Structures are given as C-alpha cells and as structure tokens.
Amino acid sequence: MIPVQGYVGQSVAVLGLGRSGRATAAALRAGGADVVVWDDSVPARDLAAQDGFEIRDLTKAGAFDGVAKLVVSPGIPHLYPRPNPVIAAAWDAGVSVDNDIGLFFQSFATPEWDGFDVAPWIVAVTGSNGKSTTSALIHHILVENGRPAQLAGNIGRGVLDIDPAHDGEIVVLELSSYQTDLARALTPDIAVFTNLSPDHLDRHAGLGGYFAAKRRLFAEGGPDRAIIGVDEPEGCYLANQLGEGANDDRVIRISSGRKLSQGWCVFARKGFLSEVRKGRQVGSIDLREIAGLPGAHNHQNACAAYAVCRSLGLGPKGIEAAMRSYPGLPHRSQLIKEHNGVRYVNDSKATNVDSASKALQAFTNIRWICGGLQKEGGLDAVIPHLGNVAKAYVIGREATEFARQLDGVDAAICGTMAAAVAQAAKDALPGDVVLLAPAAASFDQYDSFERRGDDFIACVEAETM
C-alpha cells in the first residue's frame, strides 16, 4: 500500500467504493487522514462499515463541513454529460476534488528514496486502444530482463494498492481518460500516447474533450520522455508540442504502417519493427512470428513498449527475447484454441469500431461474432475493413439493427453468444478464424467485456469438445 501523504488529521471524503475507492480509503487512513466514505450501493457501504470507515451521506446538506478534499472513483462523471451532484456540492463548498491517480503521484516518493542507488521510475501509458497490452508488455519485458517492476492502474492492482517502491524499481501504469481527466498531479518519468479514436464521447463532450483528457498526462507535469503514436493528427500535434525540433530525443515518435525518420523513432512496417536514431537504423525485430502480438495494432503496441524499454536502458536483443515469450492478455486477440483447422480468437476488449477494425485487419477468412450496445457514431468506420469477413454472426439485444448496418456482408442474427458460436463453428472451414470482436460495449447482455469473453470461451469449449 502507498500511504497518502499530506492529510494527517484532516477529514477526506471518498465517493465510490469499488476497487479503487476501497484502496483509496485504506491508503488515506494509513497516511493519517480521517476518512469518510459514501456509495449509492448499500452493500458497498456495509462492507466499508465493516472495515471501520465512517459512512457519511455526501448527498445531504452540510456533508462537506470540515472536509479538506473529495476523492472520486474514476467511473463517476465529474463534468459531462452532467456533474455528479456530490461533486457539484463539493465545488459549492470550496472542497478540492481529486482521484486516486493524483494522490498516488503526490505520495509515491518518500524520504527513503534518498538512500536508494537508483531512484524509482514511473511509466504511464494512455491512448484509446492498446493501453493494456502496451502496459503489460512493458512490464513483461522488464521482468524478463531482471528489472524490478510493478503493474497497476487500469490494469492489475489499484495505484494506491501497490507496494512501496524499491531501489531502482519501475512502476508501469495504464491510465484511462477517466483517470487522467481529474487527477491534480500527473508527473510520470516516461509517458506514452498510443493512439486516438472516438470513445467515451459523452463523458468528455466530444472528441476534443476526450483528447484533452489524454493530453493532460503530458501537460500537467511534463514527463522526462514522451513516446507518441503519430498515426493520427492528434499524435502528430502532441509530438510537435512536446519537442524542440526534429532531433529532440525527449520525444520518441512511433508508428505502425509507415516509415519514420525524425530524430529518435520506432516504427513497424510489414511485420518488421525498426528503431532509427539520427537517420540510422540501430535496432530491428521481426514481429511476424510473435504469437502474443498478432496484427498491425499489436505491432504499434510493440513499438511503444520497445521505445519505453530502450529509454530505460535495455538492449534490443533482450527486448526481442522477452517479446517472444509474451503470452498476450485475456480478451485481446487471445487465441483460445485451434480445432479441425479452425482458430477461435477472443477479442472481447474490441468494444469500439476502431479496435474491432484493427482485429479484422489482423486475420483472414473471418467468421465474425459482433454486436452489443453500440457506441456513438454507428458502424461506418468499420465498413471499409470487412473485406476479410466471410460472414457475421450478430449478438445483442439490438442485433437486427446492428446487422442492418453491415452493408454487403452476409449476416446471421443470432442474439446470444451460444447461438453465434454454434452457427459459426458449423459454417467454418479449415483455415477460417472464428473471431469475437464485438465493436460494441457489453452492457446489454453482460456486466463487463471480461464476462462476455468468458462466455465466448465457454461456448467454444462446448462446441469443440
């Protein structure tokens, strides 16, 4: 646990008692704060009461009397589409609002660091797609090369739930826009921006607000090194803003699909990763046979992880060897099994059209299981990438409307995962890929993309026994 510094004897309120909220309350108490908590869920409040926390209804008048700070869980909207009433009440009471990420950056460094030979590092990864894979891959490479490391944030453990830093340790954080948008302190040593595509637009009042939330990771404190995906205009803009000329090594540009030549850059083309510094290639990796990193979208993740690890002093050969042993993450281009010449791939994390499009480009002869709760913008962006789809099998409560938008694709309206997997398995021929890449959120039928992916796995196992 990271005890939160700066609030000894002060009253701090925590709103939201999910994983991060509970960890935040415990870390505040460990740091000497007087903690009061609230959640709309009665069971969540009961659990907090069992842990000895004072339950205070923060929706009531006067709830913020004597409170120094309100700490908000990331899933709670603070501004758009409308401010949460508790947060608005904190504003009216003059109480500062923060989240666990801000408290972490404020509290991670301690006087004990003065005795370390090598100060700990923080690597923070954000972007629309690939954050989890990039963060996990960085962590895997570091551990495989004997570097002490922890993985936290939007993946793994909550940021305040990790262990205090050791000499030379590297903490890798995956940070979502919900987390970067509100944090009052953001000071990583290395910051990564993978890419940008429309997502969470209601939460950020459009694409500009969404990008602004990501950009805060680079603007609030200024990392020592920024690794920026430049395959979208926003990334090009950000790299330009952060660097002083093409040869400023504080910025490493990365790309999947096009050759780069400015300063220090890492790019992947036709399955080969190249590192270029001052116009000379200084490293390369053949990514095509790395099973845990299929497709161009994963090659971008590989470029980002490679750039981070090179910034931390690792050599190309050590990075390559670790990449080859990387197992991949569940629900992200996860090969479940091969049966009768047919591969079954779980990419349940493809919850928007951009991530689904990337999955569709990674395979051929696809039996595509798709559908769910559509996000703003419809399916227009996925249409140009349907050339590899032999047939679509549509699930979800709005399966008929979803299928109607798949112009020119043979689509079966299945409704349930079991029906979709059964029909896809029946239709599939040797060499085909049955791919779950929904291009939609899961919440019409499941409480998370993980549950949806687990259901796919179970259905595949039942059909291929």
User: Domains in the chain and their CATH numbers?
Assistant: 11-98 (3.40.50.720), 107-324 (3.40.1190.10), 334-463 (3.90.190.20)
C-alpha distances (whole Å) from 130 to each of 300, 396, 438, 454 are 8, 25, 16, 20
| Res. 198: pLDDT tops 90 | no
Reported as a single tens digit per residue, the pLDDT across 71-82 is 999 999 999 999
List, in sequence order, every residue forming a beta bridge with 149; answer none if it has no partner: 170
Sequence ranges of the binding site: 127-133
Confidence of residue 465 (pLDDT cuts 50, 70, 90): confident
| Res. 376: pLDDT tops 80 | no
| Res. 53: pLDDT tops 90 | yes
C-alpha distances (whole Å) from 172 to each of 148, 198, 336 are 11, 25, 27
**CB-hemisphere CA count at 13 Å for 453?**
20
| Res. 67: pLDDT tops 80 | yes
Reported as a single tens digit per residue, the pLDDT across 247-265 is 899 999 999 989 999 899 9
Share of the chain above pLDDT 70, in %: 100
94 or 199: which leads in pLDDT = 94
The continuous run of DSSP H or E covering 210 comes out as helix 207-219
Residues 6 or more apart whose CB falls under 8 angstroms from that of 328 comprise 133, 291, 292, 293, 334, 335
Interatomic CA distance for residues 361 and 357, integer angstroms: 6
Q: Which two tokens stand for residue 422?
A: 């059964």
| Res. 377: pLDDT tops 80 | no
Interatomic CA distance for residues 162 and 159, integer angstroms: 6
Reported as a single tens digit per residue, the pLDDT across 83-118 is 999 999 999 999 999 999 999 999 999 999 999 999
What pLDDT score does 378 carry? 84
Interatomic CA distance for residues 297 and 329, integer angstroms: 14
Q: Which residues of 53-85 are buried (b: 16+ CB within 10 A; e: fewer)?
A: beebebeeeebbeebbbbbbbbebbbeeeeebe
Interatomic CA distance for residues 55 and 37, integer angstroms: 5
Phi, psi of 430 (to 5 degrees): -50, 135
Reported as a single tens digit per residue, the pLDDT across 6-24 is 999 999 999 999 989 999 9
What pLDDT score does 407 carry? 85
Sequence ranges of the binding site for ATP: 127-133
- Full DSSP string of 238-255: HHHHH-SSTT-TTEEEEE
Confidence of residue 317 (pLDDT cuts 50, 70, 90): very high
What letter represents residue 139's amino acid?
Answer: H
What pLDDT score does 373 carry? 94
Does the pTM surpass 0.95? The reply is: no
Question: Which of 327-336, 365-374, 424-433 comes out lowest in average pLDDT?
Answer: 327-336
Phi, psi of 154 (to 5 degrees): -80, 0
Q: How far is CA 159 from the centre of its chain?
A: 14
What pLDDT score does 222 carry? 87
What pLDDT score does 72 carry? 98
What pLDDT score does 221 carry? 83
- Give the position of tokens 């299981």: 369
List, in sequence order, every residue forming a beta bridge with 19; answer none if it has no partner: none
The continuous run of DSSP H or E covering 345 comes out as strand 342-346
Closest CA to 170 of 195, 149, 156, 145: 149
What pLDDT score does 36 carry? 98
Rounded to an integer, the average pLDDT of 324-338 is: 92
Share of the chain above pLDDT 90, in %: 88
Q: How far is CA 106 from the centre of its chain?
A: 22
Reported as a single tens digit per residue, the pLDDT across 404-453 is 999 889 999 999 999 999 999 999 999 999 999 999 999 999 999 999 99
What pLDDT score does 97 carry? 98
Cα dihedral across residues 445, 450, 454, 456: positive or negative: positive
Which SS3 state, helix, strand or coil, does residue 73 take? coil
Indicate the angle between helix axes 19-30 and 100-107, nearest 10 degrees.
40
Alpha helix segments (H runs only) across 233-314: 233-242, 295-311
Reported as a single tens digit per residue, the pLDDT across 135-179 is 999 999 999 999 999 999 999 789 999 999 999 999 999 999 999
Interatomic CA distance for residues 447 and 199, integer angstroms: 18
| Res. 246: pLDDT tops 90 | no
What pLDDT score does 133 carry? 94
The continuous run of DSSP H or E covering 190 comes out as strand 190-193
